[in-house]
Amino acid sequence: MYVSPESLAFTYGLSSAITWGAGDFTGGFTTKRNSVFSVILVSQFVGGMFLVLLALCFGELVPGFSRFLLGGLAGFSGVLGLAALYTGLARGRMGIVAPLSAVVTAVLPVVVALLTEGLPTTLQLVGFGTAFIAIWFLCYSFSGPEVRRGELYFPILAGLGFGLFFILIDRAIGESVLWPLVGARVVSVGLMSLVILIKRQSLSSTKGQMGFMILAGIFDASGNAFFALATKLGRLDISAVLSSFYPAATILLAWLLLKEKLQWTQWFGVAVALISLGLIAV
């Protein structure tokens, strides 16, 4: 049965959101008992090894240095985005930081794709708009005081870092999809190692928690691979918007496994997300 590249790209983009969301869930669960930087380092290292194994199993040709360089720059942007996100979450309100960073993450690749690849269909453009609304409602809490200007800086920086990761990975992949992602992991692991050395933090963790760290790394690496496949077969903007639905997977897993209660806004975000998926898939 023939499956069009556009359909595969849509499936891969949605798969990246699911696996990234699962990675955030397991990583977030682990950080409750471990250092954030330790969790990031271990998960990034495990994810890198997983990507190397996949590349060898699929027999991918090793690309030229320029592809590795672009992958490394993507890893640098991604780690900076991650650092800004965690700093923002620590200093501000999650209900402001999470949705703003997610929306900026999606907007930047959309703007670049519109300039370089032209306009998608009208229905897909409407789908982009509803997707941004869905992402905001999935993450945003309407309780609490008004937004302070100081709360905006770090989530915007985080979104720019993640958005640049999407754009650079799109440019890095060619015939090889996985090796540029390995280059990104080399840089991210190196930077996290440097941060931990400077902060003199311990990597100690329990056996059970190490299992969650490994799982988080595999999920995160799988999300990277699915996104790379999506943007290789389809448009950057569609792949980025679909991948940005990762908060939905995290929220639903917390609801199913941890029995966390969801606000009506989050259920509304899920409903709008389903509508936007239908519009983007047309």
Q: What is the pLDDT of residues 11-34, one digit of tens each?
A: 999 999 999 888 888 887 787 777
Rounded CA-CA distance 247/148 in Å is 23
pLDDT of residue 1: 61
What does the DSSP 8-state code read for residue 258?
Answer: S
**Contact (CB, 8 A) for 48 and 269:** no
pTM score of the predicted model: 0.87
Quote the pLDDT of residue 226. Answer: 94
Residue with tokens 């670049």: 112
What was the pLDDT predicted at 187?
A: 92
Angle, in degrees to the nearest 10, between helices 36-57 and 178-199: 160
> Number of structural domains, the chain?
1
Q: What is the pLDDT of residue 183?
A: 92
pLDDT of res. 145: 52
Q: What is the DSSP letter of 261?
A: P
- Domain assignment of residue 92, given as a range: 5-281
Let me know: does 36 contact 150? Beta carbons within 8 Å.
no
- Ranges of residues in the chain with a pLDDT under 50 are none
Q: Are 171 and 77 in contact (CB under 8 A)?
A: no
Handedness of CA 264, 269, 275, 281 (dihedral sign): negative
Contact 242, 132 (CB under 8 A): no
In this prediction, residue 90 carries a pLDDT of 61
Assess contact for 279 and 130: CB atoms under 8 A.
yes
